[in-house]
Structure 1
Amino acid sequence: MKSRSPLVKRIAIIVSALVLISIVSMAATYAVSKSIEGNATAINLSGALRMGAFRLLAQVAQPAEGNASAGNISRLAARYESNLTNSLITQTIPNTADHPLAKQYSAIRAYWDQTLRPRLENHPQGTPVGADMLAATERYVDSVSQLVTMLERRTEARISLLHLIQLTSLAFSVLIIIALIIDLKNRVLRPLRKLVSIATAVGEQDFSRKANLQGNDELAQLGCAFDKMNSELTLTYSNLEERGRSKTEELEKSHAALQLLHTASRNLFANHDLCNGAVPMLQELEQLLGIGPILLYLHDKESTEPVQAVTTASTARPFYCRDHHCNACLVTPEVYDELPIDEYDGRRLLLPIRTQSLLLGTLEVWYPAEKGLSDMTRRLLETLSDQLATAIFLERQITEEQQLTLAEERTVIARELHDSLAQSLSYLKMQVARLRRLDIQGDQKNAHVAILDELSTGLNSAYRQLRELLATFRLKLDTPDLAAALRKTVEEFSGQLGKPVGLHYNLPPQALSPNEEIHTLQIVREGLANAVKHADATEISVDVLFESPQVTAKIRDNGKGLPKGDQPVNHYGLIIMRDRARTLGGQVAVQNRDEGGVEVILTFVPKSRHLIPSEMSST
């Protein structure tokens, strides 16, 4: 069973003390009043005994009237004795024999029984009372007076005791009440005022007030509970404020990140350049969210491994970089070493970049291991991966549509050339053949033969170039890059050569626009055609290399080389290759190799945007 609480215990003790004092006071008052009950009657009766003694003495001295005088004294003495032994007197006499009052009463009784009564009864009626008789009577009356005095003193003592008990009870009651008031003030009222002030302060969001109440009663426990509550509220309020600040900062970061993603999405869809459009945005996102570096890998169907397309932090210029004036992703080794990119201080999050049915790439996000990633940051990165997926998918669609459009236009051009220019050239070749059969005599014969040879050579070269152009125009690019088309071209010329033509290709996926791919392919085909038909070569190799930011295409053979080591004059194929190189913004060189053979070198820098130039669409 739970013990009574201290405050209730103190109140119970005080109330019990007051009740006990009241009970004791009432019991003592009752006992004292009971003890003096009848004392006044006893005092009156005792006082009457003195008068009765003198009346008996006077009665004895009076002359007798008749024969009944002696009997009258005896009756009067018996009546007097009954008054002396009256219960109203004897009940006031203590029962203990050694009590002074009991001794005095016993002495009076003995003197009455043994001295005064016998003398009164034996004294002759009507004779004068002698001095002895009078002295005995006065001695008896003095004893009775002393008894009365003792009764009066005893009664007054009891009344004084009653007054003392009442004053003591009153004093104790006053002390207890004062103690109760002081205790209530110190233990109840003052703590209550503190608790009320603390409650008021809590209502005003002031949690610094403390009760600091001592003791183990209910109010002290309540004060301790208030202090603990204030401490917890202070901690909770500070935590709530901190959470509110962190949530506000998180929302501000989220808002800034969303604005950044919105701006980045417009840039990605506007300039069609993943690197220039994504790197600045990703770097701002890293600073905003406290993450990084971020790397983007693209998946290509011609490559078994993902190809890195974007990074936000690198100590060396990436392989795929096409703009050496841009240093956005380059950082110093010191900064790079501080980035969380190893297994000890960093963690990596991989997010797929995909549409509903196609996996386009992977977004690799590094972040500090001790910090982790918040849910908001994960959602923002997922949104970013969705935006990148949309941008990459649309870019690929645009590239494929441009490639298809270009292929369709070139197919139309090839058909028109075949139906018009090719037939005209064939007709001119037949006319030249007819002119050769004519028998021209005289001085003009040699001139006519020279002219016919030049016409025949020009027509044959133009016809061959036309057929090569028609073959190139009819060649379709089935992939966004050059790799498949080059492999088909190498297979075609390997059949014509009778030996495999070597191919070394390392261009990053989507490094070239469809227009750049077509021009590069045509230049490679022209170089291969010249090597197969004119060089008498046994080994031919093709190298298409990306030497950032430049693309280099080399066609080398081990044939007989160029006559006199010089480039042929008025060679239609070389003229067309140079025109194509100028279209690409580059140059082409044809030269003999030191180890023998010819080397055709095409160099150009790819454009930053994958768009079909207007001049090519009109060719």
Structure 2
Amino acid sequence: MSFPSYRARLTTRIVTLSMVSLVLVLAMIGGTLWLSWQLQGAGAAINDAGSLRMRANAVALALIGRGQFPPSRLQAEMDQMNGTITRLHQGDPARPLFLPNDADVRSQFDQVARAWHAQLEPAARAGMTGDPDAASRYLRELPDFIGGADQLVVRIEQENARKTAWLRISQMALAAMACIGTLAIVYLLHLWIVVPVQRLQEGLARIKRRDFHARLPVVTNDEFGRLAAGFNRMAVELQTLYEDLEGRVETKMAELAAQNRELTTLYEMAAFLNQPNDVDVLCRGFLVRLTRQFDADGAAVRLVTEDGQVRLIGSEGLPAALLQDERCFVADGCACDARPCQHAGFASVATFDIVSQGERLGAFSLHFSGERTMPPSEAQLLGTLGAHFGTALKSRRLAALARQLAVSEERNLVAQGLHDSIAQSLNFLKMQVHLLDAATREARMDEIREIVPLLAGGVAESYDDVRELLVNFRTKLGTGELRRAVDEAIGRFGAQTGIAPELDYRDEGGLSLPPDQQLQVLFILQEALSNIRKHAEAQRVFVTIVNERDFTLLVEDDGQGYDQREMAELGETHVGFHIMRERAQRLGATLCLTGAPGRGARVELVLPARVRQAA
């Protein structure tokens, strides 16, 4: 189908029409503004030209009565006259003021200007020098000058009247053009837009009446032309579709029903697999849903074990003899031998892998008593179900491993908690018990009286250590509870030692630490205080906590301190320092331990903003 080449796009036509209308309107408006400006300037010129007569008479009065007025009066009047003539000659766009651009007006103005400069002004200046005939000469020339000025005003008014007539004609022309342009625009828009829309509405009405033979004439190559061509293509397709609509609807409904069943199966299976069941319940539910959904007579799940064997984990609807034959085989062998299945009454078997993130975890099989060909859509669905099942199995294995790691980590924390203080206390008690036993056998009462208080003190210290560890292990913190826990830890330290630590807790607008980071910071504080209690023999303890962009914990004492080289040689054998370093490493923080013999010790923990977590 060809389009007429002379028709432009609808958008181009509308834009062109709008631009032409705009240019014409702006031209007319500009013309009227120019005429108005000319009339305004000429009106000001009329006022100044009319003032020439008044100023000429004022000069005459000043000239006649020069004995009565000061000489400056005549000069001022002459300056005003010269200024008025100069303004009329040069114009003043700011007012605006200018003479009309007309030859008669310009000629008349030149005559008036010459009359003043050649006749009246010389007579007036002669009068200023004392010439007695100057006034009579000025008065003889004055009537001609006034007549010329009046004639100048008349000619300017005539030119203004002509321009006023042009202004009225322009306004009427603008009104007429607006009316004609509006009618033309309405007609063109009706022709370009309304008529094609009406044709389209008529075509849609015929389509609504199921008249799929409806076609629109394509007479332009603009947007409506392409729309009409698209409507015709749509009508052809609708006509084709309607002819075999029933068959297509049945096919689509069957496809939608199958897809709906697949989605329902996926949803139900995903919902079941996400429940917190153990592996046996998971396999049992998976097989029951498979046999029900795919009308299978039996099903089985086999998983790959760590020793490379494939073991039967669960089954549904399979005889015991078949299960015994397929209990275990190598991982790279066939998941199901067809001969035992045929002997058990199953004509066909379908097997699919159980995978998770590319790792093959096992396979599951569906057993059918009759011949069954698995269509590609069902095979794809079963493969997807195998992937979901594999993900569920993998997550349960990872959860079990996580629980094992949690138990191992908890044991490690307990082992770290039972560090050198309790072990040394028990060793000390053991040695004292041996000494007590020897003293008892030899009845050395003095030694017995010395040993018993030592035993009592060692037992009390061990009891305090155990109670402190139990309190630490049971500590739980919520968001924003670090200050309360710090106060409690410092209070316990004061009750145990009789030393009240000086706390400087500054919250400088930093965000609250999350509970897990708060707990690690508290454990480090408790360990630092425990070391001071056991080893420092301090008199004063200072605790500083600053929560700003970086989080800082500083614990200082004035005790006996320690030799840093000896501590470096001890390494991990000094369990208290080692525990603090491990906790700081978990936080991603920097831990600085400093001290000197007789000068106290210092523990500084800095948690930078880049590793801080959001509470």
TM-score range, shorter chain: 0.3 to 0.5
Which has the bigger relative contact order, CA under 8 A and spacing at least 6? 1
TM-score by length of 2: 0.33
Query: Whose Rg is larger?
Result: 1
